[in-house]
Structure 1
């Protein structure tokens, strides 16, 4: 059998090639305000965007309005005076002849018709949207999927006004330069740890990829100086989601790291989903300048912790103290006070430090106990947004607000979700992981159901905004979504700049396997293994089908031979936070090898059990 082999350009390269092509096309013509150049989806991954380009004889300002289905759906922006105009168009409707009005500072007007294609079936349509145009205005609610769906943005009527064709992972955050930070679509290791994060303009152009040797998961946070806190891990040591790094915004270099194993014991305080591999499961990070500290959410210890930014030392823990050593409870845990209701949070997400020092989080409530005998079944459970007031001198805690408990099981998410603080009394609560299996509310992440069972799952995601405890907005979508973020499509700082994006940081050197077993020559690799090899700009990827537990080594044979152990037994992740990277075939294996530290010509072979097979592929690295 001839192994399938293909070279792949990075999305940054593909976008640069596309950009060069449309710029060359534009430069060939004489495009004016009355007859501008229009390019739909110029950067290939955001179908409801376009770019309008033209020249004017004298500098002039410009205003743009993408017409809504009704006037309240209009999306407008303005641009400073220029003679070379490069105007991004956001908020187009899918499958529609969109009307886009351009008005110069002189008052001259042009109306363009921009026809878009129908949205992908991955773009889920809301089953419910309840708000008013007066309240929601021209905001867009963005959601990033954990089940089969697209990252998308919805307006006040529930119409899709932005989506991407890439399988983005985890949170979307707008940063100081107006661009977005989001996890890459490039899988580093299962089930969902990706190569890093993208910095992307709303038009879909990726300006930077920040690669992390241990991979990225869950969350990122922009510091005041622009540097980035990114959640990661050190895979060779056998644990995941228990480290944090500070990344230089300009170079991608790791400036500082924090290892939670130095602050916490790994074998106590476990939630119902904890195992030794994923003992903490860090799903959120927040830097607080006032206290120069980091607040972290550890799902698998039912704990929101705070550590010193400089030293990494533990400052305090919010969580049920049952099961923790008494000396840690006495020193770091809070005692509930106050006359109102109080519930501890369990398997929480998205911790936020508020301006007054209060802590908000999404309390998933999964199991809602530390002892198995007391676990609460999903049908009797609840999830909620919660706000705690803490006194770090007296080590006291008071619950001052919550929303969701009163909705019971229909609002229950075993995993994912977030809260957002807009202003006092003005919050978002996103229960994005609701699921029903055979009519019963799921007591494990719905994305864990595979095969025939998956067909019995009904997914839901409920996003709510409240103002002074009045529900001002609610949207429900028939899929699971990690987080919801309300954003404007246009940001003045998000200025399109031409040129190729940057690959920053490094994937590191892939760990090698040094004990090579004896193997008989087996000839060409058998077709049953369905082996495919891909060569990207910074790594090589093996895709194949192996039975569980088979011994597989990937070998690069050149002047020096490099051998890599390919895992064929998948860990049973109890917190499948993103299921969009899962293959339908449980035997499917994807294994990347970083090109860092490799140079020269290599013949690729595979040792599978007791035989060594040739692939017929030779690569130059």
Structure 2
């Protein structure tokens, strides 16, 4: 009897719990809301997809809504963010997406929308108050990492009216930490996992305020080989969404953090870094490496930063460009003059100013030392490709090869169309591909046999210089037509003139734009900036120059300017101070300049909230 009674009581309790739970989530009472709402709509969800803490969604509350707009009320003397919301975005997020909130602040958000209920439309205007937490990021523990993403930010030159609404997407990273050194490829060593740094990804306005950042812990893990690496190659696609890669992954997310895809690289490839380009046909071009190459000497190696793979929207491999088969992986002229203290992200001040000798390189070829080391031949860092740009007009790719000091265009047939770089060391089969420098009248400019003594650029005299350890070679589609194309690049300037200067402070970097006649195989330098700023603006590695069609401007990020070292120990005394500059087309001085103190920079570019949410 007691057992029967106990069973009845338990059954009754379970039924009661079940009914209560059902009522809480809806059940007989419907989709009941038992939490506070501020306005006429539903609940407020901050950080709706867990990786973008300065975003929110004001849920629709079960109504149909359309024609929404959002305004983030700025702080005193702050920058207004205001945008319309496409009706498709309202349906995708189940409410009104909110972007641009200030961190650690009670934000006032003005929203306007049309609410449809019982067949009637009502225009509504409301103000929501949304609190956000302070910016959070994993830290290295080093005293230089104050301020999370940067120690301080200075608006050196306030924007002109044309640029005062700019938002700048910044792709930085913190130095190596104890966590990140646990996982490194070791067969051979090197590759993307040797570059295993926590990301620092954020958007700032023109007053220097952070208005968005990526909190990566849900999609990133320094201790996991297939979820780590350096986040690089960020780009806002034509559809407004973000693509990038890290380590063994390439991904696409919208600005609220909603995952569109997050994939491992195709099995035959490893070590994404630097560049992921989207093509008008919907395909993606990724800078990767070969997962397993049998060299001519019979050795199997992972190659290093010398393969471009094209994948379609579903991740199927369409094609690849194996640069060790297209270029000469044993052209070592540039390798001998590189500053070994700054080989892209492998910055070692103790090796500053040192170069590799003929014997050093020869010794490598007689041993099995492979991986992310400067050296010739597949399996070593002979090419160091740091950007790829698909030219859809003739279905070619334009690459920047840092360790060849060259910008190169290669066709779908894997044939080289042209090479923009100094002529030293190119074999006979490449010599007719080298572009000839000319002035504005088409007259040939003599740069000497090694291309190192071109006259300095003067707009009224038509000077010229090649790029040296450059980054980001991009075709300017809007200025190009047929065989006449314009290409932008950031000329970092290491090994300038195929040499190291007597004093390191003689180095300088440039943003530069070239006009190329692809039929005549000539190149004219039409704009530069940076030479007069000297060593203070010098970035030995990383950085970006890119044309912006919306304002007919040129964006420049000198990403590791101002890096300082202790001369005695060679250790850094602080992180660099990256500079953001944006120029009117052809202008000699920037329309805005922003400086970040104590930040390890990679790239930055203008972000469009209209493209992201108003499309």
TM-score (norm 1): 0.67
User: Are residues 455 and 417 of structure 1, via their aligned partners in 2, closer, same or farther at CA, if it must alter by over 3 Å?
Assistant: closer
- Aligned partners of 1:58, 1:253: CA distance in 2, in Å? 38
Is the contact between residue 211 and residue 252 of structure 1 (CA under 8 Å) also seen in structure 2? no
Name 1:436's counterpart in structure 2: 563
The structural deviation recorded for 1:434 is 2.0
Is the contact between residue 231 and residue 243 of structure 1 (CA under 8 Å) also seen in structure 2? yes
Name 2:497's counterpart in structure 1: 369
Deviation track 1:363-399 (CA, whole Å, cap 9, x = no partner) reads 00112132x5x55643001101111122233322221
Name 2:168's counterpart in structure 1: 141
The structural deviation recorded for 1:137 is 3.8
Name 1:605's counterpart in structure 2: none
Name 1:112's counterpart in structure 2: 128
| Aligned pair partner of 1:73 in 75, 79, 94 | 79
* 2:60 match: secondary structure: strand
Is the contact between residue 171 and residue 482 of structure 1 (CA under 8 Å) also seen in structure 2? no
* Greater Cα radius of gyration, structure 1 or 2: 2
User: Are residues 404 and 395 of structure 1, via their aligned partners in 2, closer, same or farther at CA, if it must alter by over 3 Å?
Assistant: same
Name 1:230's counterpart in structure 2: 286
Name 2:305's counterpart in structure 1: 241
**How many residues are matched?**
449
The structural deviation recorded for 1:329 is 5.3
Note the residue ranges of structure 2 that are not aligned, 5 or more in a row: 1-23, 115-121, 137-146, 176-198, 221-229, 294-300, 339-373, 440-460
The reply on whether 1:402 has 2:528 as its aligned counterpart is yes
| Aligned pair partner of 2:432 in 298, 323, 331 | 331
Root-mean-square deviation (CA, aligned residues, Å) is 2.8
* 1:304 match: secondary structure: strand
The reply on whether 1:287 has 2:407 as its aligned counterpart is no
Name 1:178's counterpart in structure 2: 240
* 2:431 match: secondary structure: helix
Select the structure with the greater relative contact order (CA < 8 A; seq sep ≥ 6).
Answer: 1
Is the contact between residue 354 and residue 421 of structure 1 (CA under 8 Å) also seen in structure 2? yes
The reply on whether 1:90 has 2:78 as its aligned counterpart is no
* 2:52 match: secondary structure: coil
What are the residue-to-residue correspondences of 1:246-285 with 2, within 5 Å? 246-249=310-313, 251-268=314-331, 269-271=333-335, 272-273=337-338, 274-276=374-376, 277-285=380-388
Deviation track 1:94-121 (CA, whole Å, cap 9, x = no partner) reads 1111111122334422211111111234
- Aligned partners of 1:29, 1:218: CA distance in 2, in Å? 46
Deviation track 1:122-171 (CA, whole Å, cap 9, x = no partner) reads 23254321323733343310111143462111001010001112266112
- Aligned partners of 1:481, 1:433: CA distance in 2, in Å? 6
* 2:534 match: secondary structure: helix
In terms of fraction of residues, the more strand-rich structure is 1
Name 2:205's counterpart in structure 1: 155
The structural deviation recorded for 1:81 is 5.9
Name 1:29's counterpart in structure 2: 33
Name 2:179's counterpart in structure 1: none
Name 2:187's counterpart in structure 1: none
The reply on whether 1:427 has 2:529 as its aligned counterpart is no
The structural deviation recorded for 1:55 is 3.0
- Aligned partners of 1:176, 1:425: CA distance in 2, in Å? 17
- Aligned partners of 2:128, 2:613: CA distance in 1, in Å? 25
Name 2:150's counterpart in structure 1: 124
User: Are residues 133 and 267 of structure 1, via their aligned partners in 2, closer, same or farther at CA, if it must alter by over 3 Å?
Assistant: same
Name 1:598's counterpart in structure 2: none
Name 1:321's counterpart in structure 2: 423
Name 1:198's counterpart in structure 2: 251
TM-score (norm 2): 0.68
| Aligned pair partner of 1:300 in 403, 407, 410 | 403
Name 2:605's counterpart in structure 1: 485
The structural deviation recorded for 1:54 is 2.4
Is the contact between residue 84 and residue 613 of structure 2 (CA under 8 Å) also seen in structure 1? no
- Aligned partners of 2:249, 2:61: CA distance in 1, in Å? 38
- Aligned partners of 1:24, 1:295: CA distance in 2, in Å? 55
- Aligned partners of 1:491, 1:24: CA distance in 2, in Å? 36
Name 1:62's counterpart in structure 2: 68
Name 2:225's counterpart in structure 1: none
